[in-house]
Structures are given as structure tokens and as C-alpha cells.
A and B are shown apart, each in its own frame.
Chain A
Amino acid sequence: MSDPILVSTIPDFHILYPENVHQDERPGYTGFIVQSPFLLEFAKAIRDDWGYDFLTSVTAVDFFPETFEVVYHLFRSLGGGVLTFKVVLPRENPKIDSLYNIFPGSELQEREVYDMYGIVFVNHPDLRRILLWEGFAGWPLRKDWKEAYFEEESKPFSSRWPNGEAVRSESANPFHANLKYPPGFDPEKWIPDGEDALYMGLKQPENSDGMNTDYMIVNLGPQHPSTHGVFRMAALVDGETVVDLKPVVGYLHRNHEKIGERNTYLQNMPFTDRIDYINAMSNNFGYALAVEKLMGIKPPERAEYIRVIMAELSRIQSHFMVTGFLLNDLGAFFTPALYALKERELILDIFEEVSGSRMMCNYFRFGGLARDLPEGVLKKIHDLAFNRLPRKIDEMDELLTENEIVTARCKGIGILSAERAIALSAVGPILRASGVPYDIRRADPYSIYDRFDFDVIVRYHGDIYDRYLVRIEEMRESARILQQAIKQIPEGPIFEGKSQYQVKVPPGESYGRVEGPRGELGFYVVSNGQPNPVRYHIRAPSFINLTGLQEMCRNEKIADAVAILGSIDIVLGEVDR
């Protein structure tokens, strides 16, 4: 094993490269500022010489009216904390080198930054808009871009109180809808931008066998029973074999980040529920961690335990659901899913009793929780964790794992090797199924995860079957954590003082990350001391895991592409945000 000190310390890059790298010295900020021409060289050096081989997040911040900052977060796949560095760009004509050739995992994220800010990534292989469509007017996350229903820079809006009179936003808009066009726009002269760029991007292989074959483009989605929502894949097929494939996303783009920048810190909490809507508790957790880090507070003991219990219950129900729906995708329509959903219901009952809603829990507050466990709930969780869930996980295992059809459809399909998984920034069960034992609960423990005894599950084939196995085993580990947490949970307050609706957040930045059921779920929050965040970015595991979809699907059958997608486990709310 590597030396733990080596893994967790961040080298002094500003001393190593004094010309081009500086420390970020603004109060509350960490990391380094890299000169833009030096970016490629620096990225290469940190990957090859310093072991920062995993680019986890690429995003940008608009410091209106001065500059753009492109922010990179990296870590070592061996473990340890996050390295942050930034590149400052002018707001006029912003251009930056693409990191695609060094970290292919940046592909979709750089497209997203381009889509939202109009920052051009030079040498990016396929720089198109991703969440919006080609031809959309404006770069929505720039601070000087206003949406059609724009009311005020930040909430609370003054029209609500004390002289509030309910109006629908439509009535204030000249089109009576959520619309805004450039002045002088003539809809009759508009030629919609087709999707040629998308289809041209699908690469045909060089024909080696001398035979002339025609390729066909197949679109799956956005309305397709196997895509788990409004996801679309454009596949180039040769007979039944997928030659190339591109994910097309954005059909559920709900502008979380723009809305989040108008919201106060607390108001963002219920919105996080709706990012990964199968798994609200982990989202709450990640966001609460990020803001608590900024505020420099910690919740009381009991609250920490309840948080862990909720997060692990959430993981179990999410994995149950994925396993059931993976079987749906394989053709076992609904019986396994029904069994899985049954267990999920029992867990949702607990969420409902504790937080008030089955799915949109909105349970965490900065520095604690919304309310204590009601009477009798701990007993119910106890029953589930010690008795029912382990039994049912075993049953699921017995029902599916040795099933010959499952093994035939899953083994050896959709392979992602360990190197490629790291390069493509895959996280969560996908990364661990490819043989990289990276789990944030171990690698960079947050909350009180360092107190529990559990194993990080790893498998080595990197195919659908291993991803399925990792999930089954992870449920067992989660049940183990639950059992320990229930035994140890202390009495006490769940909140120091009284929960406030106006929280004071000092200026600075923070990146809070948790190991959600789909992998690293990160929240990047930048504050300037105002009640509203300057930047609220979600590092969404489902979205970034899709970067690897193309590679996994190549040379597989088109029917397997559906199963591979099922094994990646995307939640569209999180992909499109």
C-alpha cells in the first residue's frame, strides 16, 4: 500500500512552478490558479508526476463583471482529498484548452460549460450544446443573461410581501408564456438547426474486410421504455452491432443551477431533492456538507448518526430499484422490479414518517436535521436493518445471480477496464466493478463514516454482471453500517439552538462530496457573503458516468446497449439537472 501521508497531502505547486501557478489567496478559497497557456502542461504533470489521475469535476464561475473562472477538481484514485485549481479567463471571447486528450472524462463536462457560459474549449472533439439545443439564444448561466420570467436578482422577491397579489408569471410576459426572443426575431425565416452535427459525429470504422456495408442510424429515446426517462441515444449500427453511439441529453434540463443562484442557501435544500429524485437523502447530505464546510459548523452527534442511517437506507432502496429495473431492461418484465419496489416501499414509509414526504425528503438543515425521529421509527428501522433487509437482499441474490439468462446477458458485456474507468471519470459502482477500490466513505471520510466497519466492494471484470454484483454486495454492507449505527446512536439534540431561515455564510468556496448510490455526488458552492450563492454547481455522477457509455457500447449488440445503460444506472433528473 502507498504511504498514507503521500496520498493525502497536496504538493506545493506554486513553489514547484513559480512562474505559472499561484496559490489562490482570497479568503475562504483554496487551491491554485494556473496561467491559461500553462494549463495543458500542468494537467499532464499532475497526472503523470503527482498521481492526480482522476478529474472529477469541471465547471466555471462567472465573477461578473470581471472574469470567468474555470474550476477543476481532481483527486488520486488511491485515495485522499480533492485538489482544486482554476484558470482565469476574460469575459470577452473566453477560450481555453480542452483537457480531453489528457482526461477524456472531461468531454461532457466541457460541453456543459460551453453550453452554459459560452466558454470555448479549443481542440475539444465535439463541442456542441448539450443541455440546450443548437440555436438557443444566449448563455444562460452568465450573470448578465436574464430568463424570460426574470423578476429580481435574488430571492425573496419584494412583490410577495407586504403587498403581495397573486399573479401568474405568464401575465407579465408579452407572449403569455415562458418565452423570450432576440428583438426583431422573425419566426418564419428561422431555419431550425437540424441534428446533422450529431449524426456526423458518429464515426464509421475503416472497413478492413473489404466488404462494403451500409450503416444505419438508430435513435433510442427520448420516449423509449428502456431509457429510464427522457434520455436519448443516437447509435450507428452495422446490422445489430453498435459501431458508434452518442448520448443526447437535456430533455429534463430544469435549470437547477440558475435557480440555485437566485435562491438563498436554505431554499436550495428542497431543490436538491429533485436532482436525483430516487435518492433525496444523499443529495441533502452532500449539499449540507458543502454549506456546513463554508460556515464552519458541525451537526451534533445524534444528527450525524441519523444522517448516516438515512443515507444508507437511501442507498439500499436505490440499489434495489436499479437491480429491479436492470432486469426489466434485460426482458424480465416487472417481477424482479416488483419484488424490489416492495422493499423500497417499506423504506419510503420510514422516510415519510421521518421527513413528511416519500421522495422529496428535505430533511437536512445546516447544522442538523429538520426534526428528530418520531416515536417508534427507530424500532422500525431496527426491524428492517436486522431482519427484513438482509433476508430480502439474500432473496434477490438467490433469485437473480445464478439465473442462466442473467449471466448470459450480462457476463462480458459492456466492459470498462480500470484504466479507462479512471480516465473517463466513472464513479461509484461502475468504477468499483472495474477493479478500482475507490469509495469516498473510505478514501476521504466525511461525517462519521470513519467509525463504521464496512468493506469497499470491488470486482474486476468491469462488465454488467460485476456492476450488478457490486450493488448487491453494497446493499449488504449498507445493512451492516445500519446495524452498527442503530446500536451506537446516542440520545441528544439534533440541532444546536434553533434552525434559522437566514443563514450567514462567509465568503469563500467549498466542495462537499458524498458517496451516493451512483457515485461521487459533489456540490460546489461559492459564496460572497450575501444570502444567495454566487455559484451552485452539482457534480452529478449519472451525468459524468455517461461519458463512458460510448466506449462500453461499441461493438456490442443494440439490445445490449439497453442493458448497459441500465447497469450505469442513470437518473435523468441528475443527468440534465
Chain B
Amino acid sequence: MGIRGIIKGLGITFKHLFETYSEDLKQGPDRYKTAEGIQDRLSADTKGIFTVQYPEEKIPVPEAFRYIPFLIYDELEGGERDIRCTSCGICAKVCPPQCIWITRSVNPETGRPIPKPEKFFIDIDICMNCGYCAEYCPFEAIRMDHDYEIAGFDRMNHHIYDMEKLLKPASYYAKTHPVQYAEEETARLEKEAKKAAAQAAKAA
């Protein structure tokens, strides 16, 4: 049995080892714990050390990233919260493992339903992070959160998320999903402008 192939292989492992140090020298202290350093290690021509040292360094998550869903509310003046959800039930219908429960609000006087959820639950022990609820919600009311650091010691009391836990402000959404948020805002403004124009035309 020869050893040529083995030596060739060892050469490659040695190259990997060597690159770690040569890259360190080349890039200097910027290689670690800076955003550019992390980007470099994620890019197609990364060389040498590949490790991103969580928790000091974190890989930025892309905008499309999905974890657990959350509900969006718009902040009104005076600190009131305007929940975007109209409890139309589409997300509950489309959810593949059926882990969304919604109780629709009812006007106690007339008995008619009002388009607001009274209760909203998501069992995150069942949720498969598929993103359908966010994708098919017609009111931009539910989106996929980016927060993955949610490990806990108790599930019985915490893993069925109710409305309190699910609600997050629109400003948070704007931060996690800048592109999508901007697109939706422009679409909304356009629509409103159109509506206003139509109304103005009607009035005139």
C-alpha cells in the first residue's frame, strides 16, 4: 500500500490550517467581532477559520427568516394599540398542524361579530415555522419573528402563546423586515391616496 494519496490529503488539511493564520495576519484585528468580519466568513470566498463565535458574534438573519409568528399592532397616539388582525380566520385555516386558535370578538349588545380577535393562541410546541400564516394573511397582521433566543425551563405555562405574548408593535416589524415593511407601507399609502382621490371626486 502506498502513501501518496494520504500525503496529498494531509497537504490539503495543512493548507486549511495554514490559511487560518495567514488570513488572521492579512485581515488583522478586524477579522473577529466586527460585522465585516462576520460577512467575510459568510461570503463565497471565505478562507481559514469559519466559526462564528456565538454569542459574541451573531450571524445576521435574512429578512425572510422565519421562527415563531407574532401579531402586529399599530401604535396610536396616547399609547393605544390598534391590532391589525381582523380575526378573519385565514391563518387558522391554512396552518398545516392547526396550531392557531382564534376567538372572534362579539359585540355584546347586538351579538354581531366585530372584526377584532378576542383571543389568539399559537401553540409553539406544534408550530412548524412554515410561514403560511404570514404569507396568506390578507391584512399584514401576522408575521414571522426573528427572535430565536427563547429557550426556557418550563413549557406547560409558557409554550401556548396568547395575545399578550404574540403582540408586537409595527415599529418592531419595521426593524426586522425593512424591505417588506417599506413595500407594504407604500402600497398602503397609495391605496389611501387613491381612496381619498375617489372620495374627492365623488364630493366634487
Contact = CB atoms under 8 A, between A and B. Distances in A.
Touch test A–B (CB under 8 Å): yes
How big is the B interface, by class?
A: 35 or more
A362 interface: yes
B181 interface: no
Contacts of B4: 402, 404
B87 A162 contact: yes
A467 B121 CA distance: 49
Interface in B94-123: 94-96, 98, 100-104, 113, 119, 121, 123
- Nearest 3 A/B pairs, CB to CB: A164-B101, A402-B5, A166-B121
Given A160-B92, A346-B44, A374-B64, A356 B101 contact: no
Interface stretch (B23-31, B72-80, B129-137, B188-196): B129-137
Interface in A153-180: 155-157, 159-166, 168
Interface stretch (A315-323, A379-387, A544-552): A379-387
A371 interface: yes
B165 to A, nearest CB: 12
Contacts of B66: 356-357
A355 B16 CA distance: 31
Contacts of A164: 92, 100-103, 119, 121
Given A335-B13, A501-B136, 20 more contacts: A156-B92, A161-B92, A161-B100, A162-B113, A164-B119, A165-B119, A168-B160, A263-B96, A269-B130, A270-B128, A352-B61, A356-B66, A357-B65, A357-B129, A362-B131, A388-B44, A398-B8, A404-B1, A404-B6, A407-B5
Nearest to B93: A156
A208 interface: no
B6 A166 contact: no
Interface in B174-196: 179
Given A165-B101, A501-B93, A400 B64 contact: no
A161 B93 contact: yes
A360 B144 CA distance: 14
B89 A362 contact: no
Contacts, number: 149
Given A161-B89, A163-B103, A404 B5 contact: yes
A161 B44 contact: no
Given A161-B92, A165-B101, A501-B93, A383 B45 contact: yes
Given A352-B65, A400-B9, A267 B101 contact: no
B132 A353 contact: no
Contacts of B121: 164-166
B9 A403 contact: yes
Contacts of A371: 64
A499 B135 contact: yes
A551 to B, nearest CB: 29
A174 B9 CA distance: 61
Contacts of A266: 94, 132
A166 B101 contact: yes
B5 A342 contact: no
A251 interface: no
B129 A360 contact: yes
Interface string B40-75: 001111100010000000000111111000000000
A155 B92 CA distance: 10
A454 interface: no
A6 interface: no
A299 to B, nearest CB: 17
Contact of B98 (A155, A345, A374, A402): A155
B12 A395 contact: yes
Contacts of B87: 161-162
B64 A387 contact: no
B62, B102, B129 pick with most chain A CB within 10 angstroms: B62
Nearest to B52: A345
B160 A166 contact: yes
30 contacts: A155-B98, A156-B93, A160-B102, A161-B101, A161-B102, A166-B121, A168-B123, A267-B94, A268-B96, A269-B96, A346-B42, A346-B44, A346-B46, A352-B64, A353-B62, A356-B65, A360-B128, A360-B129, A374-B62, A383-B44, A384-B44, A387-B45, A395-B12, A399-B12, A402-B4, A403-B5, A403-B9, A404-B3, A404-B6, A501-B136
A161 B104 contact: yes
B35 interface: no
Contacts of A274: 128
B152 interface: no
B198 interface: no
B50 to A, nearest CB: 5
Contacts of B61: 352
A73 B44 CA distance: 43
A354 interface: yes
B23 to A, nearest CB: 14
A199 to B, nearest CB: 38
A160, A163, A342, A352 pick with most chain B CB within 10 angstroms: A160
B90 interface: yes
B16 A339 contact: yes
B98 A157 contact: yes
A399 B130 contact: no
A405 B92 contact: no
Interface in A331-386: 335, 339, 342, 345-346, 349, 352-357, 360, 362, 370-371, 374, 380, 383-384
